[in-house]
A and B are shown apart, each in its own frame.
Chain A
Amino acid sequence: MTEKKERTTVEILTGANIHIVADDWRTYVDGGDQHFIVSQQNLVWPHLTIKDKDLLGLPMTEGDDLQLQVTEIADPEPALRPAKPKIVRPPAHFTSEVFRFIYNKKTFDRVFAPQIQDLRDEHAAALADKHVHLARWIAVRETARLLFMMKAHALVSIIKTFVQLWKIH
């Protein structure tokens, strides 16, 4: 008698008339004409867990359709369910796009991009520490600082341009 491990996909119709497609891991003991299931686990991740202890030791002939007897469908605690991934834009995304449009590449790369990167690093660090409110505050504060920086940079650029024009004439 040899032991075989097999993974298949099975379709299960539960008592509540719910149709489930599940990954099915089984360990067989091959005994000639008959196979004996020595262990079995059905997992429908992440919402349902099927406990089918009754199937252990159930004799079955090769080629037979397996009639699964689902004894219990357990719904895990909502807190244990993995949260649905939510994709959001990084802080200062819109501001960054506006700056990229207004300024030339050199100015954006040297002046604004490092500041935006600092903002995002700080924001990510706060989120990693589960300080959601602090992260939001950092996003607001640093975006305001960026706007101030834009104002200061624009003022200096205007003065510089006037000085250069005055020098030419």
Chain B
Amino acid sequence: MQFPTKTEMLILGLLAGGEKYGLQLVKDSGGKLKRGTIYVLLDRLEDKGFITSKTPEPGSARRLYTIHGSGVRALRAQEVFEHGLPAIGAMA
């Protein structure tokens, strides 16, 4: 499995707070994510298996993104890498 990049980690961090739409992620990132690339990044994350997406309304093109189990594990690993083992306890 490929480890997520820094920008992908940012998306996973935002999705850890709950399922979101693409445009919502751009707004919540405070300018770190761009509208022109967000869906490419989300597509890549979905291909890697870190997130899943669904269309909440039938016939609508809008997709709602949710973090997957492997995405949560990647986030925890990142936390451990940055803050050491106590971060796992704080996240649980």
Over the window 90-116 of chain A, the binary record of Cβ atoms lying under 8 Å from chain B Cβ atoms (1 yes, 0 no) is 000000000000000001011111111
B10-51 interface with A by 8 A CB criterion: 21-23, 35-37, 39-40, 42-43, 46
Residues of chain A with a CB closer than 8 A to B21's CB: 114
Within the complex, which residue of A107, A145, A153 is in contact with B35, where a contact is CB–CB below 8 Å? A145
A: residues with CB less than 8 A from B are: 107, 109-118, 121, 145, 148-149, 152-153, 156
Q: Are A109 and B36 in contact (CB under 8 A)?
A: no
Look across to chain A and name the residue whose beta carbon is closest to the beta carbon of B65. A114
Q: Are B22 and A153 in contact (CB under 8 A)?
A: no
Within the complex, which residue of A112, A117, A153 is in contact with B62, where a contact is CB–CB below 8 Å? A117
Give the A-B pair count, Cβ closer than 8 A. Answer: 43
Over the window 50-75 of chain B, the binary record of Cβ atoms lying under 8 Å from chain A Cβ atoms (1 yes, 0 no) is 00010000001111000000000000
User: Min CB distance, A122 to chain B, in Å?
Assistant: 9
Residues of chain A with a CB closer than 8 A to B22's CB: 114-115, 118
Query: Looking at chain B, what size class is its interface with the partner chain?
Result: 10 to 19
User: Min CB distance, A84 to chain B, in Å?
Assistant: 28
Look across to chain B and name the residue whose beta carbon is closest to the beta carbon of A109. B61
Counting from the closest, the 6 A-B pairs by CB-CB distance are A113-B61, A117-B61, A110-B43, A111-B39, A145-B36, A111-B43
What CA separation (Å) do A113 and B59 show in the bound complex?
A: 11
B: residues with CB less than 8 A from A are: 21-23, 35-37, 39-40, 42-43, 46, 53, 60-63
- B interface, over-half SS: mixed
- Which of A110, A113, A114, A156 counts the most B-chain CB atoms under 10 A from its CB? A114
Q: Are B40 and A116 in contact (CB under 8 A)?
A: no
User: Min CB distance, A102 to chain B, in Å?
Assistant: 15
Look across to chain A and name the residue whose beta carbon is closest to the beta carbon of B39. A111
Residues of chain A with a CB closer than 8 A to B37's CB: 149, 152
Residues of chain A with a CB closer than 8 A to B42's CB: 110
User: Min CB distance, B36 to chain A, in Å?
Assistant: 5
Q: Are A114 and B63 in contact (CB under 8 A)?
A: yes
What CA separation (Å) do A69 and B60 show in the bound complex?
A: 55
What CA separation (Å) do A112 and B35 show in the bound complex?
A: 12
Residues of chain B with a CB closer than 8 A to A145's CB: 35-36
User: Min CB distance, A114 to chain B, in Å?
Assistant: 5
Supply 28 A–B pairs (Cβ within 8 Å), ascending by A.
A107-B43, A109-B61, A110-B42, A110-B43, A110-B46, A110-B53, A110-B63, A111-B39, A111-B40, A112-B39, A113-B61, A114-B22, A114-B39, A114-B62, A114-B63, A115-B22, A116-B61, A117-B62, A118-B22, A118-B23, A118-B62, A148-B36, A149-B37, A149-B39, A149-B40, A152-B36, A153-B40, A156-B40
